[in-house]
Amino acid sequence: AQSVTQLGSHVSVSEGALVLLRCNYSSSVPPYLFWYVQYPNQGLQLLLKYTTGATLVKGINGFEAEFKKSETSFHLTKPSAHMSDAAEYFCAVSGNTGNQFYFGTGTSLTVIP
C-alpha cells in the first residue's frame, strides 16, 4: 500500500526566501512520486515527478525535489519564493504497477511581501 504525509498544512514564507514543503511517503514497492500545484479555483497541475534515475528532479517554475530513499522523503524546494507561488501543493505517490495516485492532504503556501 502507498501513502504520503505532508508535514505542515500551512506554510508562510517571505518573498525571496527559501520554500521548503515536506513530503514523506510509504510504499511497499519502488515508488513514483509527484508534486502537484493547485492555484485558486483551478485544477491540479503537475510540477515535477520522480520515476527512476536521478534523485534530484527539476520541475516547472524553479521548483525541485529530491528523492531520499533512506529518509522516505520527497521534499519540494525553491530557492526564492515569488508572490505567484502562493497556492496549494500536493505530494502524491503511486506504485509502479498501478494507475492510482495517493495524494497527501496538501500544504497551503502563503508568500508574504
Choice from 54, 56, 99, 113 touching other proteins (CB under 8 A): 99
Residue 89 in contact with other proteins, rule: CB under 8 A: no
Choice from 27, 87, 106, 111 touching other proteins (CB under 8 A): 106
At residue 24, what is the residue type?
Answer: N
CA distance 102 to 63: 21
Residue 59 in contact with other proteins, rule: CB under 8 A: no
DSSP state of 45: E
Secondary structure of 47-92 as H, E, C letters: EEEECCCCCEEECHHHCEEEEECCCCEEEEEECCCCHHHCEEEEEE
| Smallest distance from other proteins to CB 23, Å | 13
Residue 66 in contact with other proteins, rule: CB under 8 A: no
Tell me whether residue 31 or residue 81 sits nearer to other proteins (CB atom).
31
Cell of 59: 520541475
Choice from 12, 14, 26, 45 touching other proteins (CB under 8 A): 45
DSSP state of 18: P
**Can you give the binding site for other proteins, defined by CB under 8 A?**
32, 36, 41-46, 49, 51, 90, 94-96, 98-106
